[in-house]
Amino acid sequence: MKEEIQIVLAGFGGQGVLFAGKVIAYAGLIEEREVSWLPSYGPEMRGGTANCSVTLSDRTIGSPLVVEPDVLIALNQPSYDRFIDAVKPGGIVIADTAMVTSMRERDDVQIIGIPATTMAEEAGLKGLANIILLGKLYGMTEFCDRDTLDAAIDKCVPARKAALADKNKEAIKLGMEA
């Protein structure tokens, strides 16, 4: 586990960008790390653009702004196009190829494309492409302990939707194996 990881998650409102960011942030809180979670969305919310910056660190975080992320998770084409150039050299880009059809390459970052939206639908997990991509990130970086990630999902899924916690954990596993 790196002593600090800065992540930008971006997509359309309603794709669960802020929720996925919140799961990462809660995982950091559970492990008593320094955490910053900064959501950003347009006034139109659903259908408009949404992104969220998350920093997990073992040191004090100076600013919640993530200008040069270590990781970009892109859930749609406009988000990929907007943030691809900001990713730090040596960073990771994870994109949902069901929604990001044109992935401009960079030779100084690792770009992973997985058809998360399609995978979610085929597995009966419609609407959990965000968590499949989060699972892929977890599989690549292990930004927290696996049990911590499950606990963070339990914390973030509202009580009235408790049945969705297991589906989210299933989506994490799918992403790790993708």
Rounded to whole angstroms, how far apart are CA atoms 84 and 71?
A: 10
The pLDDT tens digits for 97-137 are 999 999 999 999 999 999 999 999 999 999 999 999 999 99
Name residue 53's beta-bridge partners: 8, 38
Which phi and psi (to 5°) does residue 129 adopt?
Answer: -60, -35
- Rounded to an integer, the average pLDDT of 128-155 is 97
Q: How many CB atoms lie within 10 A of CB 61?
A: 14
Spatial CA neighbour of 100 closest among 122, 126, 133: 133
Q: How many domains does the chain have?
A: 1
- Domain that residue 106 falls in: 4-177
pLDDT band at 43 (very low <50, low <70, confident <90, very high): low
CATH number of the domain bearing residue 93? 3.40.920.10
